[in-house]
């Protein structure tokens, strides 16, 4: 474990130097890992584990699109691909990667197939943190651990194939065997993490729900729409408004911020951009802080969990979701985006 300084705060992190892949393989050499669910995180984590030499099987509902995707990715029915109950029964480590709603529905099946000494692994602390709402209460005789990659399963897989790693948080909710720490570290390295930083199930949920609703998706989409609409209102063309709002940010600036930091970005742009960004930064921070405060309170009090559980469990959820996504997809801004993406040099 390495101790690093993050802006003056010391944190313990686990890197590949002190926990190399060879150590991870040794820790889990006698384990069978069942990845339950093949939706958002399942494909990336299972394929990375398999490519890293671990014994992995997949559990998924039969006759579903995700089952078909698993088959297309090389998982073999009856050999490495099973229904959820069978996969759970065969495993010593169950990676519970269904959606939060799916975890609630399948919990009785998982619980029935947990044996003493098994490990129950999550990539989101929702089910356990809000156990009074979800009913997911792990038995006392199993390890309960978490590895949460800070990005989508698609990004995890792409970075793995490129020889890179996606940073992940890790947590131990319950150490029944005395080996939970080694197990969670080995799994974190095995799925392709760049480094692992410690958290707990509750903090992971609070930060994750705030981030998704905030800067990662909700706030970002809302700010995109606001700036695009203002530019269009003042006579700018769709192409100009989209390029100044989305394309320049995602294709030019954010990769450089990721590589060098925001201060570097400020230091390497025109004085006009520099001055304006530094001045308006404070206005945007002050304007949005009350919204983020409200958001965090909604997460911490369980209001967001209630909404997720109540809406996602309704039979018409998928149909209504498609309506909402269609509204975004068919808006002028994102129709413009589809055209702009086709004009990128790599697509011509």
Q: Is 84 left (phi over 0), alpha (psi -120 to 50) or beta?
A: alpha
Residue among 329, 347, 334 nearest 247 (CA) = 334
**For the chain, how big is the Rg over CA atoms in Å?**
22
d(CA 340, CA 300): 39
d(CA 235, CA 97): 47
- Paired residues of 93 in beta bridges: 33, 119
Residue 152 · residue 163 · CB < 8 Å:
no
d(CA 184, CA 1): 13
Residue 59 · residue 87 · CB < 8 Å:
yes
- Catalytic status, residue 124: yes
Residue 238 · residue 332 · CB < 8 Å:
yes
Helix (H) or strand (E) holding 144: strand 143-149
- Paired residues of 166 in beta bridges: 193
Residue 58 CA to its chain's centroid (Å): 19
- Paired residues of 82 in beta bridges: 59
Catalytic residue among 124, 234, 236, 282: 124
Residue 28 · residue 186 · CB < 8 Å:
yes
Class of residue 263 by CB neighbours under 10 A (exposed 0-12, middle 13-18, buried 19+): exposed
Residue 113 · residue 142 · CB < 8 Å:
no
Which residue is it, tokens 């947590």? 171
Residue 49 · residue 24 · CB < 8 Å:
no
Residue 91 · residue 33 · CB < 8 Å:
yes
Q: How many CB atoms lie within 10 A of CB 27?
A: 20
Helix (H) or strand (E) holding 45: helix 42-51
Catalytic residue numbers?
124
């Amino acid at each position: 474990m390495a101790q690093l300084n993050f802006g003056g705060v010391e944190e313990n992190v686990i890197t590949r130097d002190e926990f190399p892949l060879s150590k991870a393989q040794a820790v889990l050499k006698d384990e069978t890992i069942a990845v339950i669910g093949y939706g958002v995180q399942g494909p990336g984590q299972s394929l990375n584990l398999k490519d890293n030499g671990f014994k992995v099987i997949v559990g998924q509902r039969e006759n579903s699109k995700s089952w078909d995707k698993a088959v297309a990715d090389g998982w073999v029915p009856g050999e490495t691909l099973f229904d959820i109950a069978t996969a759970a029964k065969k495993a010593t480590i169950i990676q519970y990667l269904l959606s939060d709603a799916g975890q609630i529905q399948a919990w009785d099946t998982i619980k029935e197939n947990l044996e003493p000494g098994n490990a129950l692994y999550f990539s989101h602390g929702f089910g356990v943190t809000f156990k009074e709402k979800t009913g997911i209460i792990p038995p006392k005789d199993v390890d309960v651990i978490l590895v949460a990659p800070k990005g989508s399963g698609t990004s995890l897989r792409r970075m793995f194939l490129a020889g890179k790693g996606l940073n992940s948080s890790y947590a131990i909710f319950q150490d029944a065997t005395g080996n939970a720490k080694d197990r969670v570290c080995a799994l974190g390295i095995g799925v392709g993490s760049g480094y692992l930083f410690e958290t707990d199930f509750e903090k992971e949920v609070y930060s994750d729900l705030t981030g998704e609703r905030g800067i990662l998706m909700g706030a970002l989409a809302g700010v995109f729409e606001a700036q695009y609409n203002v530019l269009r209102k003042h006579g700018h063309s769709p192409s100009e408004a989209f390029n100044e709002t989305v394309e320049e940010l995602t294709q030019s600036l954010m990769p450089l911020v990721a590589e060098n930091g925001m201060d570097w970005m400020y230091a390497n742009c025109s004085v006009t951009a520099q001055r304006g960004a530094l001045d308006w930064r404070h206005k945007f921070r002050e304007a949005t802080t009350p919204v983020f405060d409200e958001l965090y309170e909604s997460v911490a009090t369980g209001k967001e969990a209630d909404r997720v559980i109540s809406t996602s469990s309704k039979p018409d959820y998928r149909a209504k979701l498609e309506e909402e996504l269609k509204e975004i997809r068919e808006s002028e801004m994102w129709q413009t985006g589809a055209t702009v993406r086709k004009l990128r040099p790599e697509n011509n």
